[in-house]
Amino acid sequence: MAEEAAPESGSGSFSSAVNGGKSIEECQDMIRRSLRSPMVKFLREHLEKAGCVVGENFIKAVHCDKQISGGYVRGEGIVVCSNHMSIQDEVNQVVIHELIHAYDDCRAANLDWANCAHHACSEIRAGHLSGDCHYKRELLRGFTKIRGHEQDCVRRRVMKSVIANPYCSEAAAKDAMEAVWDVCYNDTQPFDRAP
C-alpha cells in the first residue's frame, strides 16, 4: 500500500486469505511475533539508522474492507489487515513488504506516492527484497513457471498494486514499471544484496 489511508491506498499487498481471517487481537499477537523475526529486526534497525522512528504502534492490525493484506501510510505507519490473514507467515510477509516501503519513504526525501514511477519503484523493491515472490510462495499461488518466475511475479504484483493507485492508469503503471525496472530491481538497500 504506500501513502494512502489505511486500506484505501496505493501500495497495498493483496490478500489471499479465506474464511474471515483473524481477529484484530489475534493479528496483533502475530505482529508481535513477527517483530522477533531476523528480517523484521534488520529492517526496523535500518529505519532507525536512516533517522526514522519506528514506535510501539507503528505496525497495527486493522479490519479492511478492500481485498488487500496491508499497507504503509506515510506519517501513520503500517497496517496489517487481520481479516485477510490466516497464518504467521502471511503476517511476516506483509510486515516485511511494508517495512521496505517505509524504508524507501524514509530515505527518499522527495518520494511522491502519487507519482506512478516512484510507487512502481518501491513496489519493485518490496516485491524483490521481501520474499513475496519466492518460488514456494509462487507454487502455492498456482504459478509453476520454473525459469524467470521471480521477475514475472514481481512484475505481476507491481502492476496489481500500482493500478490500484488512483493516480495511475494501467498504461501509466506499465510504462512507469518498465522505465524504472533496472534501477529499482537492482537497488537492494538496506541489504548488501537481494536476500
Structure confidence by residue, pLDDT tens digits, 31-42: 999 999 999 999
Please give the pLDDT value at position 148. 66
H helices present in the chain, as ranges: 24-34, 38-49, 88-107, 116-130, 135-140, 149-163, 170-185
pTM for this one? 0.87
Residue 114 near residue 165 (C-beta atoms within 8 A): yes
Query: Residue 172 pLDDT more than 90?
Result: yes
Place of cell 493479528: 27
Q: What separation in angstroms does the CA of 7 have from each of 54, 172, 188, 191, 193?
A: 20, 22, 27, 28, 31
pLDDT digits over 95-123, tens only? 999 999 999 999 998 999 999 999 999 99
pLDDT value of position 15: 45
In the chain, the percentage of residues whose pLDDT exceeds 90 is: 71
Catalytic residues: 98
Q: What is the pLDDT of residues 43-57, one digit of tens each?
A: 999 999 999 988 889
Report the alpha-carbon distance of residue 62 to residue 169 in Å, rounded.
Answer: 28
